[in-house]
Structure 1
Amino acid sequence: MLMRAISRAYSGGMAVDRVLANLDLNLLVTLDTLLRERNVTRTSEQLGVSQPAVSGALARLRRHFGDPLLTRVGNRYELTPLAARVAVLTGPALAGVRRVFDSTADFDPSQLDREFTLVISDYAAAVLGPLLARRLGHLAPGVRLRLEQTTPYAVDHVADTLRAADGLVIPHGFVTELPYLDLFEDRWVCIVSEDHPTVGDTLTLHELRTLPWAVIFDRPTAFAPAARQLRMLGIEAQVDVVVDGFLQLPFLISGTRRVALIQERLARMLAPVTGIRILDCPFEVVPVAEAFWWNPMYRNDPAHAWFRELIMASAASLRTPEPRL
């Protein structure tokens, strides 16, 4: 068994290299968290992975140990006798592993010579990109930041995307079963031309049904979530312009009868130069919840860990909600 093997290795009963050859560190982390939380949902939240991924890991652990590890008692789960013994060993084992990796993680960001690639929408690049670039320029002048536009293909083939990039910035709802960091939220708003001939200070659902629209992508796996929500209300937009980026939308609205859905922060940035008005949506809209998704192969890469912390620090100011219109 995994922990018995570790225990024997510590006591000299087995060669350390043989233990490491069979040791899945990700599984060990999941085991430790499961035995502490005794709950698949809380474990997935702690690790930042999906519940199916944790359930799959638990199934592997049960096969490995030949023991259920967690058994239901009423409305909660309890550790089996074997799991209780294993729980005593996971903490020290993980502490030892962390000490090994910590010994290689000491580096000076100011001396770092590396390129970090983010696959990111033009909206997130406009809102988050400058904050991240300024911090990088100050702390790590030798680092190059590459921002690549998100495409439907990149999202549909996220495993391939994250083998070639350091991360993907995209809202929740498109990617699963990968580690992520929650960055910030934004609000969907409607935009119309400043001199729109029929729309006043508010929009109605009837106007959303009858006005022409400019939309982003408009494909089954590429869409603005707010637009999908509009369809769920039975409103099918009369689309006459489709674009592949949010930055284009205000320019295609100005001077026309069109309407579009866009993130409030971006709308506020572009309103002064595009001649648009920002209006509340006439229905309750789920907010944009942007997250940074990354390949678990970078979990123990000290430079990538530093980059993840930098992204979170850069997004900190965006976690304060914009004042309402």
Structure 2
Amino acid sequence: MPLPPEPDGDAARRLDEPLLRSLHALLSESGVSQAASRLGIAQSAMSRHLAVLRRLIGDPLLIRVGNRMALTERAQELVAPTRRILADMSLLVSHAIARPLRDLRRSFRIATYDFMPKAFFAQLAERIGRDAPECDLVIRGLGSRFEHYRQLADGDVDLVITVWPELPEHLRATGLLNEPLVCVLRPGHPLADAGALTLESYERARHLTSLEHVPGRGTVIDAQLADLGVTLRTLVHTQFLSLAPSILSRTDLVFTTGRLLAEDFAREHGLVIVPFPAKIKPMRYRLVWHERTHTDHALRWLREELAAAARALAHRPRS
């Protein structure tokens, strides 16, 4: 049975930062003891906070389902706004006081697919470990239907690396890396011989695709191929690029990707790189962030480090 909430004005005044942090922990852990452990406070204190939150919000928030606790429907609705409010509160302080990087304790969260070469992420991890040793790096995948833009707005991620050109107005972006598109095949592939890969043979071939898909729109490459009057026959769709080399080495599939990743595949797995058989725009990687984090000192440093890692890749010797 829903609890009667306090009057709006009273609730707003009583919902201070400690209660918000307890609410976030309870919503994240779905349990009092786990939430207390997360914040490093006594379980009895967390139980008191839950009781206050239930009165303020007018909802049980946590209910027992079998032998476990679960979030109510109202509690699930509060997950994103609670996280966003706490993120905005932390920015108020971080903008005013720029802590030295070596003293900073936070997670840097980046959403991307693994279509960037491994050296890019290795260099980034090296830079963070050297200059901000108390921070950690979280690399997660991009969701479908531009879910990562919502994640930026909700404070779930700090930065996004994407190849899609469209951006909502509240987001900022900068170019990270441009590279030509090439095709990757197994040695001995019928199309690996000089001159064998034409636009016609490319269209007749079967393909492996592994770029950011949007339902009803396909990939960024699909849009460019449509301009050339080409439609791919894709046999394997995957967002797990670690699978691609083994699949390519045992099939006659063709994989179209950026030159840098193709060079990694060729060097590490003995695959063959063939130039794309027509004039086509390069792959353009963009670094995207939310307007509200634009002046965050630590994230500005991270953006600069990402740009430096991209420049290092762009200038590495060609294979």
Cα distance change of structure 1 residues 167 and 180 upon mapping to structure 2, 3 Å threshold: same
For 1:35-184, list aligned pairs within 5 A. Answer: 104-124=96-116, 126-153=118-145, 155-156=146-147, 158-163=149-154, 164-177=156-169, 178-184=171-177
Question: What percentage of aligned pairs have identical amino acids?
Answer: 22
Q: RMSD over aligned Cα, in angstroms?
A: 2.7
TM-score of the aligned structures, taking structure 2 as reference length:
0.63
For 1:187-226, list aligned pairs within 5 A. Answer: 187-202=180-195, 203-216=197-210, 219-220=214-215, 223-226=218-221
Q: What's the CA shift for 1:294?
A: 0.6
Cα distance change of structure 1 residues 210 and 142 upon mapping to structure 2, 3 Å threshold: same
Verify: 1:317 aligned to 2:317, yes or no.
Answer: no
Paired with 1:247 and 1:219, the residues of 2 have a C-alpha distance of 21
Paired with 1:283 and 1:214, the residues of 2 have a C-alpha distance of 19
Q: What's the CA shift for 1:102?
A: 10
Paired with 1:263 and 1:142, the residues of 2 have a C-alpha distance of 34
Cα distance change of structure 1 residues 243 and 118 upon mapping to structure 2, 3 Å threshold: same
Q: What's the CA shift for 1:227?
A: 3.2
Q: Which residue of 262, 269, 277 maps to 1:274? A: 269
SS of aligned partner of 1:239:
strand
Q: Is the 8 A contact 1:191 1:250 kept in 2?
A: no
TM-score of the aligned structures, taking structure 1 as reference length:
0.62
Cα distance change of structure 1 residues 219 and 168 upon mapping to structure 2, 3 Å threshold: closer
Paired with 1:108 and 1:278, the residues of 2 have a C-alpha distance of 45
Q: What's the CA shift for 1:161?
A: 4.0
Q: Is the 8 A contact 1:112 1:143 kept in 2?
A: yes
SS of aligned partner of 1:294:
strand
Paired with 1:292 and 1:198, the residues of 2 have a C-alpha distance of 35
Q: What's the CA shift for 1:113?
A: 0.8
Q: What's the CA shift for 1:190?
A: 0.7
Cα distance change of structure 1 residues 274 and 224 upon mapping to structure 2, 3 Å threshold: farther
Which has the larger displacement, 131-140 or 162-171?
162-171
Q: Is there any run of 5+ residues in structure 1 with no aligned partner, and where?
A: 1-99
Cα distance change of structure 1 residues 322 and 171 upon mapping to structure 2, 3 Å threshold: farther
Q: What's the CA shift for 1:307?
A: 2.0
Q: What's the CA shift for 1:103?
A: 8.7
Paired with 1:300 and 1:277, the residues of 2 have a C-alpha distance of 44
Cα distance change of structure 1 residues 189 and 171 upon mapping to structure 2, 3 Å threshold: same
Cα distance change of structure 1 residues 124 and 103 upon mapping to structure 2, 3 Å threshold: closer
Verify: 1:286 aligned to 2:305, yes or no.
Answer: no
Cα distance change of structure 1 residues 173 and 179 upon mapping to structure 2, 3 Å threshold: same
SS of aligned partner of 1:152:
coil
Paired with 1:291 and 1:198, the residues of 2 have a C-alpha distance of 32
Q: CA offsets per residue over residues 37-93 of structure 1, 9 Å max, x none?
A: xxxxxxxxxxxxxxxxxxxxxxxxxxxxxxxxxxxxxxxxxxxxxxxxxxxxxxxxx
Paired with 1:244 and 1:205, the residues of 2 have a C-alpha distance of 25
Paired with 1:228 and 1:105, the residues of 2 have a C-alpha distance of 45
Cα distance change of structure 1 residues 283 and 143 upon mapping to structure 2, 3 Å threshold: same
Q: What's the CA shift for 1:241?
A: 1.2
Paired with 2:130 and 2:204, the residues of 1 have a C-alpha distance of 50
Q: What's the CA shift for 1:204?
A: 0.6
Q: What's the CA shift for 1:209?
A: 1.9
Q: How many residues align?
A: 224
Q: Is there any run of 5+ residues in structure 2 with no aligned partner, and where?
A: 1-91
Paired with 2:234 and 2:268, the residues of 1 have a C-alpha distance of 24
SS of aligned partner of 2:96:
coil
Cα distance change of structure 1 residues 221 and 311 upon mapping to structure 2, 3 Å threshold: farther
Look up the equivalent residue of 1:173 and give its one-letter code: P
Q: What's the CA shift for 1:222?
A: 6.3
Q: What's the CA shift for 1:256?
A: 1.6
Paired with 1:191 and 1:307, the residues of 2 have a C-alpha distance of 32
